[in-house]
Amino acid sequence: MNNQSKANVLPDCRLKTDFTPKRMMFVGAVAWVPIYCGNCGAEGGRVPVENTNFAFWLCANCESEWGVVAGTCCVPDDIFWKKLHEAQIEKYGRDLTAEEAIEALKDESNPITKLSKDRNKE
């Protein structure tokens, strides 16, 4: 078992339900959704809904009680990109170019396609 599989994964702190306009804030044409402390659930700031697929936040009280988590945990994207890199090295012996990756994703049996589909389920 490698060290990466033992890593703690930070929770996604974005609002997961009730994406109604009353729960979001609009600045111009950008919709913002609230985030909550990953430990106690205290309401924090907001992140844009569009182009944000993960946010982690720890409130000041929890940070002072539990300490800073930087360097001890991995965000889900870091784990995905590491697995993707490992899959490319195993199958091709190198990282693929963008064009090669597009072609590989067309093959349903390719491990890169499988990783991509599993990531979209999370």
Question: Residues 29, 64: one domain?
Answer: yes
Question: Residues 22, 65: one domain?
Answer: yes
Question: Residues 44, 82: one domain?
Answer: no
Q: For 34-49, write each residue's pLDDT tens digit.
A: 899 988 999 988 888 8
Question: Residues 69, 31: one domain?
Answer: yes
Q: Per the domain annotation, does 21 fall within a domain?
A: yes
Give burial (CB, 10 Å; 0-12/13-18/19+) of 55.
buried
SS3 assignment, position 14? strand
Q: Please give the C-alpha separations between residue 110 and each of 64, 75, 86, in angstroms, as whole numbers.
A: 46, 25, 13
pTM to 2 decimal places: 0.50
Number of domains in the chain: 2
Range of the domain at 91: 76-121
Q: Indicate if the pLDDT at residue 122 is higher than 70.
A: no
Residue 57's CB is within 10 A of a number of other CB atoms, namely 20
